[in-house]
Structure 1
Amino acid sequence: MRNSGISLRRVFFACVLLGTAVCAWSLPVDSIANAVMQALAASRVSQADSFSRELVVALPENPYAAHIRSIVLYETGDYAAAFAQAQKSIDNLSAVGADIRMRLVNQYDYLKSAMPVLASFRAREGKHFIFYYADPKDSILANDVLNVLEQAREAMGSDLGYSPPDKIRVEAYRSRADFITVSTLTEDEVTRTGTIALCKFNRMLFVSPRAVARGYEWQKTIAHEYVHFIVSRIAGNVIPIWLHEGTARYLESRYLKEEPALSTVEQDLLFRAIKNNTLVSFSRMHPSMAKLKDAEEGATAFAEVFCAIRFVVAKAGYRGLRDIIRGASAGLDLDSLLTHTVGAGTRPFEEVFFEHLRSLGIKPVEGASITSKEFTEDNRPDEAVLFRKHVRLAELLLGQNRAQAAVKELERADSTGKTRSPWIMNQIGQLWERNGEPANALKAYERSIFLFPEYCNGYFNSALLREKQGDAATAAALLRKTLEINPYHVPAREALVSLTRDKAEAERQKAILRVIQGE
């Protein structure tokens, strides 16, 4: 870092003394631009900001200098100034070489398309984070965003030994389309792999749960992205994607003080990948999990890297993981660090890890399957329409006191012959309720929660039944879990208002309802 500063001062000094076209338009710009981009790649944004500011002061009419300044301003969150510099950079394109001209145009075009989204942000500031949102209804997320990230900050300070000194920007996007526009991912990549959040541009970006039909585990998602942020701050861009994602996946729930665990879907996918010899190599995960062929391969890769970090932590604890990341940042050979940590001798870590993974005896989980996130903007027909023939026949069978046959008919609604649809599972639960069999209904709801923990209606339906049975405490806990996944679930909030005995809490929930309903 110190050497870069000396080099820059020498470049500026030479530029001022010589004042030549060669100095002002080629060598100094290239040297300083490289230093700026290296600083950004290493997550040293304040250093890049200082370098780029000096650059535009020394070369105020240089289009490439304006371009570099635009990139840095964007990463600092000053979007209007970034766009102004991008506009300036294309005012005199003939002054720059053809090889970099397209970079200037691309940056301008990107910011021009992103600015309508970015300019609409409002801010809510916390102790160490600033939450930005565009839709007023997303203001209800602010307290949870700031609380979750403060807890994650404390956990990562302990686990990875680093807490950022600056306030970190986190942005909620009101739609998948807005997220795609700003993220630079393609619609195909987002749709195919289910990517819904990123750590990029020195900030965290996530799609509001309001944009997803039934919400998702967005709190754990932003904690996941925060781990990425910390790893980037510690090690810059030297950590491979598999280690980045594995660390984030393994540590994402540490803010809850929970022991990390595979999901049921991940366990089932790993079983199948091991059985069919279709494990995803670490090299195929580069440069991004979002670029794997589909959601199943992406989820398999996440399960693998979770297990890889669990393998490391089991051998050497969080200190061992921290030492690997810091060692790689210092330029040490990553594979040597990994093999030394797990005691693998001279064999490559990936080979040793896959051997370990195959030895675990991972079991399949019957009924587990990936469900794609349904965005509200998709206008897909809901399940009641998709399964209407089966539902209608089940209703007729129930009316004939043939509950078992009605359940079988609903199960047939899934083309696999297994109850892989969470909607079907919950319909089965409601059918059992109507037939006066609450124990069977609870089993259906609990199976939905076990296999599809992001499907909020499993918690909601179970909560309503628990309330009917007089178990208000369990019902309230299930309603809170429903709202953790989908904060915009109006019936769940209304039910929580009616259940709570705390007047202040009831008023808080009513205030949130007024925001959601646009009152």
Structure 2
Amino acid sequence: MAEVPTSMPEATGPEDPVLLARSQATAEPTPLALAPDADAWSELADRFDGAINAWDLADAADAVAAMPGGSARDVKAGVLAFHRAAYPEAESLLAGAVASGQLPPAGALREEAQHYLDLARGAQRALGPATRLTSPDGQVEVVFANAKDELIASYLFAAMAEARQAFAADLGVEPDHPVRFEILDDAVKLALVSPLTRENVYTTGTVGITKYRRIVMVSPRVMLYGYGWIDTAVHEYVHYLVTLKTRNRAPVWLQEGLAKLLETRWRSPDPLPLEPPSRKLLAKALAADDLVTFAEMYPSLAMLPSQERAALAYAQVQTMLGVLHEERGGAGIDELLRRVAAGEDAEAALAAAWGDSFERFDAHWRDVMKKRTAGKPGGALRKLQPLAPDQQAAAEAGEDLSLLGDVFSHLGGGAARQHARLGVLLTLRGHLGAAAKQYEKARAADARVRDDPKLARRLGELYLQLGKAARAVPLLRRAGEDDPEQPNLAAAEGRALRLVGDLAGARLALARALRVNPFIPALHCDLAQVAIDPAEQQREQGLCRE
């Protein structure tokens, strides 16, 4: 993986030529209502709006340069500055335009000015005195609201290099500029930098957005149990590429379907199947004919009424695009995007790419997914939650917050649960050997409990602490099969496998932990031990905290 360059304070952006021209202007700005050529203004404004919407900042800049001076021009210049992430300049231009008295008292232009002024101010509050790192290849820049989160940079750069290469071939598009990531240290800050509300963020567990030619994500450090942050970064990068390829003409359902389908492309050549919780949601919705409509998905899946409905929507569009990919290959996806980029309705474009009507495709997709999801095991949907303030220190110390409380309530009220609860009490008092015996008694007391994944995890982690890695491995593997995205469990499994000499297996387990929560201190100690590349080994040793 690539080394992380030394961080430096985040700059406010390059000097905007529009600002320079404005400062040098000697004539009084012309109010929009008195513009000498209203038709010319309208044509330039339409050109600008189309270019900004397509993220064609060069054409947008040319349109602004051709506009007559005045507050209306300053609004467009401010919007351009915002898309360039030059937030102070954007605020200055937009605030001046709003206060000038030259904008119409109501209407689209004033609403545009106020919208982007709020975003420019929100972005500065969200990022604060940020730092910025650039990838060694210069293709990615990451801005961190909190320097603690710079730890993730090298892993992000490596994954993005893989994704960039893969998608250049798969989607036929590669940005001609560095892709900007902004990493926030509080989930609620997403509401400062986007149209989302605090309620949207908390209700659906949103952790990433792609908008205004940047990718904004929440650090896994501030989320309870972390989250699949590398897959999320690649998911958002797919949004970025589809926006560029289609000039932002792809509707939400198509954007999200492709992003979800391809988010693991950096680590798997083929799309991965639905995870059990999503599979269960989709099976239930298909049976009840209670799917999320495309209209409900607009303008954002983050605005759906619950995390379950959002997860269902993702499962629907992921599998729809998955069926197209399976049956028509990459050519089908390319044809779909080509038609959408040309302005064709997305449903009609999908139908054409598949080779029949959209209604027939929809019926076929439903039949396929009913067969694939029927009778398959499900699982609980993992809720994405921010860390509470009193949990932050414990999480940074490496404590596993998922083990707090009565984790064995599901065992019922028999002897198995009694032995398991006694095991917890003995563990808390430091009597690890005695605790292990109680867990073994719990497994022996009830055949239905013997392979319980939560019990297997507790016992496996105890054996690992007691220096009995060989006994820990099968238990931790069983628990990991049930909850593969639990980072502390994956880290424990990785350590046990390393200690028994299975270095390849250890790397896989540790990689699972890393892509969910790279802030587990001891994780890096094990990564250092299994690293093949000397530079990686040195980096991981520097991050190791036992």
TM-score normalized by structure 2?
A: 0.79
In the alignment, which residue of structure 1 is the partner of 2:3? none
Shift of 1:477: 4.1
Change (3 A) 1:247 1:499: closer
* Residue 191 of structure 1, CA deviation: 1.6
Give the paired residue count: 488
Aligned-partner Cα distance in 2 for 1:183–1:455: 29
Q: 2:114 aligns with which of 84, 90, 105?
A: 105
Alpha carbons of structure 1 residues 192 and 465: separation in structure 2 relative to 1, 3 Å: same
Cα distance change, pair 408–183 in 1 and its aligned pair in 2 (3 A): farther
User: Does the 8 A contact of 2:142 with 2:182 survive in 1?
Assistant: yes
Letter in 1 for 2:34: V
CA 1:95/1:470 → structure 2, altered by over 3 Å: closer, same or farther? closer
Single out whichever of 454-463 and 352-361 deviates more from structure 2. 352-361
Query: What's the secondary structure of 2:225's corresponding residue?
Result: coil
Cα drift, residue 204 of structure 1: 1.0
The 1:166–1:495 alpha-carbon spacing in structure 2 relative to 1, beyond 3 Å, is closer
Q: 1:213: which partner in 2?
A: 224
What amino acid is the match of 2:518?
P
| Residue 288 of structure 1 pairs with residue 303 of structure 2 | no
The answer to whether residue 523 in structure 2 is matched with residue 492 in structure 1 is yes
Give the whole-Å Cα distance in 2 for the aligned partners of 1:497 and 1:337: 49
Identify if the C-alpha distance between structure 1 residues 504 and 112 changes in structure 2 by more than 3 Å, giving closer, same or farther. closer
**Structure 2: how far apart are the matches of 1:451 and 1:253?**
20
Query: Which whole-Å deviations, capped at 9, do the CAs of 1:287-338 have from their partners, x for residues lacking one?
Result: 2111112111111111111111111112211111111111121123433332
Q: CA deviation at 1:188?
A: 1.5
Question: What is the Cα deviation at residue 499 of structure 1?
Answer: 5.7
Quick one: which of 189, 198, 212 aligns to 1:201?
212
Deviates more, 1:304-313 or 1:442-451: 442-451
1:73 Cα deviation (Å)?
1.0
Which secondary structure state, in structure 1, belongs to the residue aligned with residue 143 of structure 2? strand
The equivalent residue for 2:405 is: 386
Q: Does 1:249 align with 2:260?
A: yes
Aligned residues of 1:250 and 1:306 also touching (Cα < 8 A):
yes
How far 1:490 moved relative to its partner?
0.6
Does residue 116 in structure 1 map to residue 125 in structure 2? Answer: yes
Aligned to 2:15: none
Q: Does the CA-based 8 Å contact 1:176-1:375 persist in structure 2?
A: yes
Matched, 1:222 2:233: yes
Paired residues of 1:176 and 1:207 also in contact (CA < 8 A): yes
Q: Distance in 2 between matches of 1:374 and 1:423?
A: 21
TM superposition shift of 1:492 = 1.4
Quick one: distance in 1 between partners of 2:446 and 2:73? Answer: 64
Q: Following superposition of structure 1 onto structure 2, how do residues 468-479 of structure 1 map, counting pairs within 5 Å?
A: 468-479=499-510
> Alpha carbons of 1:475 and 1:358: their partners in 2 closer, same or farther (altered >3 Å)?
closer
Compared with structure 1, are the counterparts of its residues 500 and 234 closer, same or farther at alpha carbon in structure 2 (3 Å cutoff)? Answer: closer
Q: Identify the residue that residue 135 of structure 1 maps to in structure 2.
A: 146
Q: Distance in 2 between matches of 1:425 and 1:285?
A: 40
* Residues 490, 512 of structure 2: 8 Å contact kept: yes
- Percent identity between matched residues is 24
Q: Distance in 1 between matches of 2:50 and 2:194?
A: 21
Q: 1:445 to 1:388 in 2, by over 3 A?
A: closer
Query: After alignment, is 331-340 or 296-305 more displaced?
Result: 331-340
Give the corresponding residue for 1:83: 91
The change in CA–CA distance for 1:487 and 1:363 in structure 2 (over 3 A counts) is same
Change (3 A) 1:410 1:77: farther
Q: 2:439 aligns with which of 392, 396, 403?
A: 403
Q: Secondary structure at the match of 1:258?
A: coil
2: CA distance, partners of 1:411 / 1:22: 85
Matches within 5 A, 1:23-42: 23=35, 29-42=41-54
Q: Secondary structure at the match of 1:254?
A: coil
Deviation readout 1:421-464 (Å, 9 max, x if unpaired) = x8666325336768999777544433443333321112112123
Alignment correspondent of 1:466:
497
- Contact 2:132-2:144 at 8 Å conserved across structures: yes
**1: distance between equivalents of 2:525 and 2:348?**
56
Deviations 1:366-423 (A, max 9, x none): 5x1111123234546944442279664344796695535535999999xxxx96xx86
Whether contact under 8 Å (1:247, 1:309) holds in the other structure is yes
Provide the C-alpha distance between the structure 2 equivalents of 1:408 and 1:374, rounded to a whole number of angstroms.
36
Q: 2:477 aligns with which of 417, 442, 446?
A: 446
Contact 1:410 1:428 in 2 (8 A): no
| Alignment partner of 1:340 out of 319, 342, 352 | 352
* 1:356 Cα offset (Å): 3.4
| 197 and 298 in structure 1: CA distance in 2 versus 1, 3 angstrom threshold | same
Aligned AA (1:266): S
The reply to whether residue 125 of structure 1 matches residue 169 of structure 2 is no
In structure 1, C-alpha distance between the alignment counterparts of 2:454 and 2:41, rounded to whole Å: 59
Seen in structure 2, the aligned counterparts of structure 1 residues 403 and 117 have a Cα distance that, compared at 3 Å, is: closer
In 1, Cα distance between the equivalents of 2:123 and 2:462?
A: 48
Q: What are the residue-to-residue correspondences of 1:128-277 with 2, within 5 Å?
A: 128-261=139-272, 262-277=274-289
Higher helix share: 1
For 1:430, give the aligned amino acid.
E
- Shift of the 105–342 alpha-carbon distance from structure 1 to 2, 3 Å rule, reads closer
> In 2, Cα distance between the equivalents of 1:442 and 1:493?
19
Contact persistence 1:313–1:321 (CA under 8 A): yes
> Which residue does 1:302 correspond to in 2?
314
The alignment partner of 1:255 has SS state of coil
Q: Which residue of 2 aligns with 1:9?
A: none
2:61 is aligned, of 49, 65, 88, to 49
Residue aligning to 2:397: none
Counterpart contact for 1:426–1:457, Cα < 8 Å: no
Q: Which residue of 2 aligns with 1:319?
A: 331
Deviations 1:170-190 (A, max 9, x none): 221122133332233112211
Whole-Å separation in 2 of the counterparts to 1:223 and 1:143: 15
Corresponding residue for residue 4 of structure 1: none
1:226-271 CA distance string (max 9 Å, x none) = 1111111111232121111111111112222431122222222222
Give the secondary-structure state (helix, strand or coil) at the position aligned to 1:90: helix
Alignment TM-score, normalising by the size of structure 1? 0.83
1:455 matched to 2:464? The reply is no
92-101 vs 500-509, which deviates more?
Answer: 500-509
Q: CA deviation at 1:157?
A: 1.2
Cα 1:412–1:316 change in 2 (3 A) is closer
Aligned-partner Cα distance in 2 for 1:348–1:93: 56
**In the superposition, relative to structure 1, how do residues 108 and 93 fare at CA in structure 2: closer, same or farther (>3 Å)?**
farther
Residue equivalent to 2:539: 508
Q: 1:279 aligns with which of 288, 291, 294?
A: 291
Tell me the distance in 1 between the aligned counterparts of 2:332 and 2:439. 56
Distance between the aligned counterparts of 1:485 and 1:386, measured in 2? 22
Relative to structure 1, the CA distance from residue 130 to residue 356 in structure 2 (aligned partners, 3 Å threshold; closer, same or farther) is same
Q: Which amino acid aligns with 2:292?
A: V
CA contact (8 A) 2:491 2:523 kept: yes
